[in-house]
Amino acid sequence: MSAAAIRPLVEVRDLRRVFDVSKPWLNRVIEREPKQFLTAVSDISLDIARGETFALVGESGSGKSTVARMVVGLLPPSAGSVRIDGIDMQGRASEAERQKLRRRIQMIFQDPYASLNPRWRVDRIVAEPIQAFGLLDGKAAIRARVGELLTFVGLHPDDGRKYPHQFSGGQRQRIAIARALASDSEFIVCDEPTSALDVSVQAQILNLMRDLQDRLGLTFLFISHNLAVVRHMATRIGVMYLGRIVEVAESKALFAAPRHPYTRMLLDAVPDLAHIGRRREPVRGEIPNPINPPTGCHFNPRCPHANDRCRSELPLLLDGVACHAVHEGRI
């Protein structure tokens, strides 16, 4: 086993995404306003090893979904690179090579009511990736494979004859997982896959995903705002705040000893038996406007430890945490 075994499956380097949120040209000219840009994601670097689940957590608007969409290639990054198995998604790799790569990356979406084409039967939905990448020939072979995939995710092969609206939210998410697996994918990006589901169904879907991960050796990038879900799923966790990763750690370490003040605030807000008796810090304030972020550390207006340096100088991600107070040993 050489470098290939050690090399992470997914390497994200200095990923950045800026959205132009300016008013239309005519309004800008009349109102004498400059163009406005929203930096949704800035300078994100992360590695995801084969077979692990990397979770990105953060509040709404922290840019975690934007990262997910850039990693699967739905959104071109403004800067930075996403390399999967050593092949740059935006780079000079040949089209055939990238097409091969796309087969190996799939996505599971948040809303199972919107992620399945309502006019297609389920077997056609699940068969589409197989046909799109030309994995199998012949109707019988494809039908057999679709039946196998539906069984795999806990549905009946005959369910393929039905339309998506005949299924519940949890069953639809199972269909979406079957579709994601249909192209023999290895890396699956899950954008809040359970946040639209009832709590009782969430656990079933999460257990299904873990089960499939064990059986197929899948690698997940898991996006969520729900810390309980993340704790159940993740090997490693990246905490995002206003487009930046503020802390990265192994799941156990992060929950046992959060370092960044923001991570502490998030964890303190989760009711947990292990933390009974500790003073609980409520989550204060709201995420600032990303068009006009605070100077220095973006978290400083909400941070109990902020000092003058925090208000003027952006902390770098060193040793898994981006916080002056931690770096200086103040907390």
Partner 1 sequence: MSAAAALPSPTPAGWLRRYARRPGAVIALVVLVMLVAAAGLAPWIAPQNPYDLAALDIMDNMLAPGQELGTGRIAWLGTDDQGRDMLSAILYGLRISLGVAIASVAAASAIGATLGVVAAYAGGFVEALIMRVVDLQLSFPAILVALVLLAVFGRGIDKVVIALVVVQWAYYARTVRGSALVESRREYIQAARCLALPRGRIVFRHLLPNCLGPLIVVATVQIAHAIALEATLSFLGVGVPVTEPSLGLLIAHGYNYLLSGKYWISVFPGVALVIAIVAINLAGDRLREVLNPRGAR
Cβ nearer to partner 1, comparing 84 with 323:
84
184 binds partner 1 (CB under 8 A): no
List the one residue from 46, 176, 218, 242 that touches partner 1 (CB under 8 A): 176
Task: Please identify which residue in 39, 53, 62, 106 interacts with partner 1, judged by CB under 8 A.
Answer: 106
Residue 178 and residue 184: Cα distance in Å, rounded? 10
Residue among 66, 110, 213, 263 that touches partner 1 (CB under 8 A): 110
Q: Which is nearer to partner 1, 9 or 189 (CB)?
A: 189
Pick the closer one to partner 1 by CB: 117 or 295. 117
Q: How far is the CB of 140 from partner 1 (least distance, A)?
A: 22
Measure CA of the first residue to CA of the last residue in the chain; give whole Å: 41
Among 117, 151, 295, 312, indicate the residue that binds partner 1 (CB under 8 A).
117
146 binds partner 1 (CB under 8 A): no
> Is the Cβ–Cβ distance between 90 and 172 less than 8 Å?
no
118, 138, 271, 329: residue in contact with partner 1 (rule CB under 8 A): 118
Which of 29, 79, 114, 257 contacts partner 1 by CB under 8 A? Answer: 114
Q: Pick between residue 89 and residue 245 the one whose CB is nearest to partner 1.
A: 89
Regarding 179 and contact with partner 1 (CB under 8 A), the answer is yes
Q: How many CB atoms lie within 10 A of CB 300?
A: 21
Q: Does 249 bind partner 1 (CB under 8 A)?
A: no
Determine which residue in the list 12, 40, 116, 190 makes contact with partner 1, applying CB under 8 A.
116
Task: Please name the amino acid found at residue 134.
Answer: G
- Interface region with partner 1, contact rule CB under 8 A, candidates 7-15, 66-74, 81-89, 303-311: 66-74
Q: Which stretch binds partner 1 (CB under 8 A): 15-23, 151-159, 175-183, 249-257?
A: 175-183
Residue type, 219: T
Q: How far apart are CA 25 and CA 28, in angstroms?
A: 5
Q: Can residue 113 be called a binding residue for partner 1 (CB under 8 A)?
A: yes
Q: Give the footprint of partner 1 on this chain (CB under 8 A).
A: 69, 72-74, 99, 102, 105-107, 109-111, 113-119, 128-129, 132-133, 163, 165, 176, 179, 183
